[in-house]
Amino acid sequence: MQGFSHTFSIKQIHRAFTIAERTRTPPWGVTANICVRARDSRLRFDLRYPKHGGGEDLDFCARARKHGPIVSVPGARADHPWWSNGTLAAVNHILGWAEGEVLCVGKTHMQEHVFWTMPNGVEITFLLSLIVLPLQGVSIPYCIRSAFAILCCEVMWYAYRIPNHRLQHPVKDSAFQCIVVKLCAGVLIMLQDFMRLFQAIDHSPAWVFWRVDWQFGLMKDVIIDQKRHNALRSCFYCVFVVYLNGLYLN
């Protein structure tokens, strides 16, 4: 088994492509590249996960690890086609990863692999609508402007976090194309945040600020960075909203 497909951290993605070459017992394996002895194992994939999404492989491996280590095979290879041939319809598959992550948060055997963070930009916008809108004297246009500004900052933050070496030719040969691609990727990541928020509210509002450690504790520095970055952005957005409110009232 050669393990890995997607996480919600750029740093995790960068290190995960070679995880089978670096780690004898990786935390999990992507569905398209994992082999199990079906007749000897009572473990089955949970069909409640989205069929065009993710999380089912993470859930499966979390249960499988309790019966023995997952062993990597560096020489193994799996050729995986683009979802929907790489068309715009593939976005639905990417959004499904967020839904799968939310389902993982609620699983009992995954509790040791979840952690709490401060809200991201999408969640701050949601809280803003719950707290600010009911207040008298606060106009809806002001809230819309504040939410739009926060979401724009969030997209630029995600775009900034994408390293240039993740881009390919001929895109990386043009500074303008690099910026456009990174901004589009930032929008897509933010859409994942929206999907995660909607799914958490639908399943259990208590799951909203919880995330999954996709590396099962093997990359603790990534989790620390994510917590710190979320905390800094949350504080910045709160101060930003208060500042805009002061301008509006004046």
Q: How confident is the model at residue 97 (pLDDT cuts 50, 70, 90)?
A: confident
Residue 99: CB atoms within 10 A of its CB come to 23
Express each pLDDT in 36-87 by its tens digit.
766 566 788 888 888 777 888 888 888 888 888 888 888 877 777 777 777 7
pTM beyond cutoff 0.85: no
The pair of structure tokens assigned to 14 is 């960068």
On whether the CB atoms of residues 62 and 109 are closer than 8 A, the answer is yes
Asked whether residue 2 is domain-assigned, the answer is no
Residue 243 has pLDDT above 50, yes or no: yes
Residue 245 has pLDDT above 70, yes or no: no
Q: Which of these, 147, 65, 120, 216, lies nearest to 139 by C-alpha position?
A: 147
Residue 4 has pLDDT above 50, yes or no: no
Mean pLDDT for the chain? Answer: 81
CA–CA separation, 95 vs 193, rounded Å?
A: 9
State which residues form the domain around 133: 10-249
Asked whether residue 1 is domain-assigned, the answer is no
Asked whether residue 188 is domain-assigned, the answer is yes
* Residue 137 pLDDT: 58
CA–CA separation, 184 vs 182, rounded Å?
A: 5
Q: What percent of the chain has pLDDT over 70?
A: 84
Asked whether residue 3 is domain-assigned, the answer is no
Asked whether residue 43 is domain-assigned, the answer is yes
In the chain, how many domains are there?
Answer: 1
Express each pLDDT in 133-190 by its tens digit.
666 556 677 778 888 999 999 999 999 998 888 888 888 888 999 999 999 999 999 9
Asked whether residue 167 is domain-assigned, the answer is yes
* Residue 246 pLDDT: 66
Beta-carbon contacts of 75 under 8 Å, excluding residues fewer than 6 positions away, are none
Taking each helix axis as running N to C, give the angle between helix 140-160 and helix 220-249, from 0 to 180 degrees, rounded to the nearest 10: 150
Asked whether residue 45 is domain-assigned, the answer is yes
* Residue 242 pLDDT: 77
Q: Which phi and psi angles does 74 have, rounded to 5°?
A: -55, -30
Express each pLDDT in 190-222 by its tens digit.
999 999 999 999 999 999 999 998 878 877 888
Express each pLDDT in 24-47 by its tens digit.
888 877 666 777 766 566 788 888
* Residue 69 pLDDT: 82
CA–CA separation, 164 vs 248, rounded Å?
A: 39
Residue 16 has pLDDT above 50, yes or no: yes
> What is the arithmetic mean of pLDDT over 92-106?
88
Q: Which of these, 230, 51, 245, lies nearest to 146 by C-alpha position?
A: 245
CA–CA separation, 92 vs 96, rounded Å?
A: 6
Q: How confident is the model at residue 6 (pLDDT cuts 50, 70, 90)?
A: very low
Asked whether residue 5 is domain-assigned, the answer is no
* Residue 187 pLDDT: 94
The pair of structure tokens assigned to 109 is 């055997």
